[in-house]
Amino acid sequence: MRSTWVLLGFLLAGEAGAADASAARSFETILKDARVKRSLQYLRDDDAQTLREQVEITQIPAPSFEEQSRAEDYAARLRATGLTDVSIDAAGNVIGKRKGKSRAPLLVLSAHLDTVFTRDANLTVTQKDGRHYAPGIMDDARGLAAVLSVLRAMQNARIETVGDVWFVGTVGEEALGNLKGVKALFADHPHIDGFISVDGVDSPGVAAADRSEIVNRATGSRRWEITMFGPGGHSHSNFGTPSATHALGRAIAKIADLKPPADPKTTFNVGVVSGGNGITAIAAVAAMQVDIRSDDAQELEAMERRILAAVDEAVIAENARWASQALRSERKLIGDRPASSRAVESSVADAAVGAYVALKMSEPRLKFASTDSNVPLGLGIPAATLHGGGRGDKAHSLDEWYEHVNAWQGPQTILLTALRLSGIQGVSKPALKERTN
């Protein structure tokens, strides 16, 4: 491990050295505080309770747009810790407010309530060979449970932060939820100064390398529903009429032949295709859903233009094939997740890296991903996504599994990151700056 990482874990030198040293001293001071020591030990002792809550939360259905039952349960769990200012906002987010001495800066510690699974999915948690199996067991029931454990530790040790810390469960993080909850959170509360999302766990490969991951940059996405409309007709007697499915096929073929850049990573996928009434009917309607992603906002926009142009070309080609103008297309934007297209002050990610090092854990990898942190990063607000502890795999599948290995380390790093950012009254100053705009 490089000496700069031993000091704090930052890959900066020169004029940044003084800041690194100051941050390192701050972590040393924080770790010497008796209340912090108690809270870190509490998280180890709370490990079994955190797993029990994780299992209980997993078994409450919460498809995107149908999170109410889990939200109500989560609000009750926040109140059970002693928080009195707990509410569910108009979007469906659960917000528990823990006041600091000076109220600012305001840090949000969040996990998402929703899952990709339908309400009728079997969410019963089963165990085999040391693993817990259930849809959503790690994404994001683990994150929700980890946030609760961190709150209990702070309450138990009676830690008074300088700034306010909000404990939040967001809605609409998955798929077509389109980050509904976190978008509403920042629209309603523009004075939020920093954001931590707790989402997922370490994968087996990451765990084997003994290095966790921190998401500090946002992979953006644009999602379109493209619908083709034609006149329809009988496959034999009306042959020669443009077909919505044929036009859709032309569009898909054109999209499949596009070559996106490898760096910054840019991708596309036609994930859903539908249409037609039967084998003997010329399709009057056909539709597809297209997912476009990039680590760069400009490349995302460029790939989107190319894909939409491919759709227009397909319509022209299908009409030309039959000397017709009867076929047309419609497009509907169904997803918009901003990429971190501008430099964002890195206090949250820096604090998280420092927390790993201060706890004598291996330096984490920094990476792009698509999470609730996309929204604050897109707004230029410091944010990062941390794992909740343990390891697992097969997210978004019915075979999703979670392994409770050294899981308490997740809440410990989250707690220490939050305390570094919000400051401890009489012990340390906040590393998170209060925003002025």
**Encoding tokens for residue 200?**
């997922």
What's the rounded mean pLDDT across residues 377-385? 95
Contact predicate 125/54, CB 8 Å: no
4 pLDDT above the threshold of 80: no
Q: Quick: pLDDT tens for 322-340.
A: 999 999 999 999 999 999 8
Tell me the C-alpha to C-alpha distance, in Å, between residue 132 and each of 91, 171, 373: 31, 24, 27
List phi, psi (to 5°) of 18: -65, -40
pTM of the model: 0.90
Please report which confidence band the pLDDT of residue 344 belongs to, taking 50, 70 and 90 as the band edges.
confident
| Helices 297-321, 244-256: crossing angle, 10 deg rounding | 140
Question: What is the distance between the alpha carbons of residues 386 and 147, in angstroms, rounded to a whole number?
Answer: 11
Show the domains of the chain with their CATH numbers: 3-218+341-422 (3.40.630.10), 220-337 (3.30.70.360)
* 233 contacts: CB under 8 Å, gap ≥ 6: 241, 281, 282
Q: What is the pLDDT of residue 423?
A: 97
Q: What is the pLDDT of residues 128-174, one digit of tens each?
A: 999 999 999 999 999 999 999 999 999 999 999 999 999 999 999 99
Q: Pick 376 or 22 by higher pLDDT.
A: 376
Q: Under 8 Å CB-to-CB from 388, ≥6 apart: which residues? A: 111, 138, 140, 142, 143, 145, 146, 147, 198, 199, 200, 201, 407, 410, 411, 414
